Amino acid sequence: MVDTDITILGGGCAGLSLATALVSRGAPRRSIRIVEPRTTYERDRTWCFWDVEPHLFEDAVTHRWSRWRISHGGDTIERGTDRHRYVEVSADRFYEVCLNRLDRTPAIELSLGERMTGVSREGKDFCVDTSAGSYRSRLVFDARAGAALAEAEAARIRSDRDGRLSQHFVGQFIRTAEPAFDPETVTLMDFDGDASTAVHFFYVLPYSRTEALVESTYFSPHSLPCEAYEEDIARYLGARHGVRRFEVTGSESGRLPMFDVPICPLAPGVIPIGLAAGACRPSTGYAFLAIQRQAKRLAQALAREGTLSPAAVAETEGISRPSILRVMDRILLAAIQRRPTEAPVFFYRLFESADPAALVRFLMEAPRASDVAEVIRAMPGLRLLRAMLPEGISRRMAAT
Ligand SMILES: Cc1cc2nc3c(=O)[nH]c(=O)nc-3n(C[C@H](O)[C@H](O)[C@H](O)COP(=O)(O)OP(=O)(O)OC[C@H]3O[C@@H](n4cnc5c(N)ncnc54)[C@H](O)[C@@H]3O)c2cc1C
């Protein structure tokens, strides 16, 4: 006799997205329990992505932009398309929308303030231990991103002392007295001309002429003290936007792996989802849409699957990333790691040459066949890419 049919460990983006996807198919016939240590939900991050496909969170979208820019060495290009806008889902709105939907669904229990402490297999079922006690569950999804990222970090340190790249950043919500921002255009990458050992750029989401989220982002192995990113932002606001005095109304920070996260199931049969399943694309850090796709596939599988066997559901578990994208990511990341100083030119020229709609579908992992061809065509000269690559790969490319 089980206490609950489905347990979701972690009520963050992936856990709540899976629960929402299950609810979107009508009242779930199964009982679902979400175990989440936090006691309240706050604005702890800002998800952005290009709206290349429908998703369940239209009512959580807080901003839309049709234009974006890249700047490097005093040059700026602006691109855009009305077909795919760059949209923002702020975390507080996302959590509010999810909680409202789940609140109306008696089959779902969200246990806030409760932490999973262990999971073991008991026959066909699982025994889930939490800070509030133990119970039996037929299926368990692991959506605790932090544990997977810690494991990935440990593996990275073990395998490569110099470290593979991570994308690490601090963002501040800025309010200025004088107009400083262009509210029509997102700054995706404004490269820091001083960076010689790491890729460093600023990312700006403008909400009005006087309000924006400004992030200082690095692609490098090691994070910096928080004050270093904050000093970057103050320097950038002065130099680029002529802003000397500003108010910081909030902040967020993150460290995302720029390599494939090893998938480490908590116990045999536990199904990882979200970042724990490798949802974060190594070359971009975008994960939101990949999380939605996985949630949708799993909800479909659960609707079909009569017996709730982990093996049957697990067949649809993975983050389906086309292998051509995996290969291209690896080549690009090897190149960035070897020659970070060339990366700004690479990104600048790529955005300059590629058809914007094709490029953003490619970045969002939803490319048509012609989009991949378009991105390869638009990639800055092979000479630049080869110069950036480690010798072995570069020689193999030259030989083909
Ligand atoms: C600041 C920031 C900005 C980002 N911006 C973007 C963006 O613009 N676009 C994009 O596509 N992606 C973005 N990402 C990447 C990615 O979309 C997010 O990290 C996303 O939140 C990952 O979802 P997740 O559910 O896997 O992890 P999380 O949302 O982190 O959820 C994990 C949950 O597990 C819970 N948990 C931890 N330990 C336990 C335990 N023992 N028991 C039970 N639960 C536990 C945590 O409390 C948390 O709620 C961003 C990430 C960060 C950090």
CATH number at residue 53: 3.50.50.60
265 and 327, same domain (yes or no): no
284 and 340, same domain (yes or no): no
For atom 28 of ligand 1, the residue with the nearest CA is 12
Q: Ligand 1 within 6 A of 274 CB? A: yes
Residue 71's pLDDT band (boundaries 50, 70, 90)?
very high
Q: Which is more confidently placed, 168 or 388?
A: 168
pLDDT tens-digit map of 359-377: 999 999 999 989 998 998 8
Residue-level pLDDT at 324: 86
What is the C-alpha to C-alpha distance for residues 139 and 210, in angstroms, rounded to an integer?
A: 48
Question: Angle at which helices 343-353 and 369-378 pack, to 10 degrees?
Answer: 130
Domain with 337, as residue range(s), is 323-399
What sign has the CA pseudo-torsion 65, 69, 70, 73? negative
Q: Is residue 160 part of a domain?
A: no
Q: Ligand 1 within 6 A of 148 CB? A: no
For atom 38 of ligand 1, the residue with the nearest CA is 144
276 and 380, same domain (yes or no): no
User: Could you identify the atom of ligand 1 that is nearest to the CA of residue 289?
Assistant: 11
Give the distance, in angstroms, between the CA of residue 304 and the centroid of all CA atoms in the same chain. 29
For atom 20 of ligand 1, the residue with the nearest CA is 13
Q: Is residue 12 part of a domain?
A: yes
Residue-level pLDDT at 206: 98
12 and 34, same domain (yes or no): yes
Q: Is residue 79 part of a domain?
A: no
10 and 130, same domain (yes or no): yes
Q: Ligand 1 within 6 A of 261 CB? A: no
Buried b (16+ CB within 10 A) or exposed e, 185-208: bbbbbbbbeebeebbbbbbbbbbe
Closest among 14, 293, 272, 38 to 148, alpha carbons compared = 272
pLDDT average, residue stretch 197-216: 95
Pocket test for ligand 1, best of 9, 20, 45, 280 (most atoms within 8 A of CB): 45
Q: Ligand 1 within 6 A of 143 CB? A: yes
Determine how β-strand 108-112 pairs with β-strand 32-36: parallel
Residue 152's pLDDT band (boundaries 50, 70, 90)?
low
For atom 5 of ligand 1, the residue with the nearest CA is 47
Q: Ligand 1 within 6 A of 128 CB? A: no
Q: Ligand 1 within 6 A of 339 CB? A: no
Q: Which is more confidently placed, 222 or 41?
A: 41
For atom 52 of ligand 1, the residue with the nearest CA is 254
Residue-level pLDDT at 326: 86
173 and 297, same domain (yes or no): no
pLDDT tens-digit map of 160-203: 555 678 899 999 999 999 999 999 999 999 998 766 678 999 99
44 and 119, same domain (yes or no): yes
240 and 263, same domain (yes or no): no
Residue-level pLDDT at 399: 52
244 and 185, same domain (yes or no): yes
356 and 285, same domain (yes or no): no
269 and 251, same domain (yes or no): no
Residue-level pLDDT at 181: 97
C-alpha of residue 13 to centroid of ligand 1, in Å: 6
What is the C-alpha to C-alpha distance for residues 284 and 281, in angstroms, rounded to an integer?
A: 6
Q: Is residue 76 part of a domain?
A: no
Pocket test for ligand 1, best of 47, 256, 271 (most atoms within 8 A of CB): 47
What is the C-alpha to C-alpha distance for residues 236 and 253, in angstroms, rounded to an integer?
A: 17
Task: Name the average pLDDT for the chain.
Answer: 88
Is residue 164 within 8 A of residue 156, CB to CB? The reply is: yes
Q: Ligand 1 within 6 A of 213 CB? A: no
User: Could you identify the atom of ligand 1 that is nearest to the CA of residue 44?
Assistant: 1
Q: Which is more confidently placed, 124 or 148?
A: 124
Total tally of structural domains belonging to the chain? 3
DSSP annotation of 46 = E
C-alpha of residue 11 to centroid of ligand 1, in Å: 9
In the predicted model, is pLDDT for residue 225 greater than 90? yes
Q: Ligand 1 within 6 A of 257 CB? A: no
C-alpha of residue 377 to centroid of ligand 1, in Å: 34
Residue-level pLDDT at 400: 46
Could you report the predicted ipTM of this complex, rounded to two decimals?
0.99
Contacts of 54 by beta carbon, 8 Å cutoff, 6+ apart: none
Give the distance, in angstroms, between the CA of residue 151 and the centroid of all CA atoms in the same chain. 17
Residue-level pLDDT at 329: 87
Residue-level pLDDT at 325: 87
Q: Is residue 161 part of a domain?
A: no
246 and 364, same domain (yes or no): no
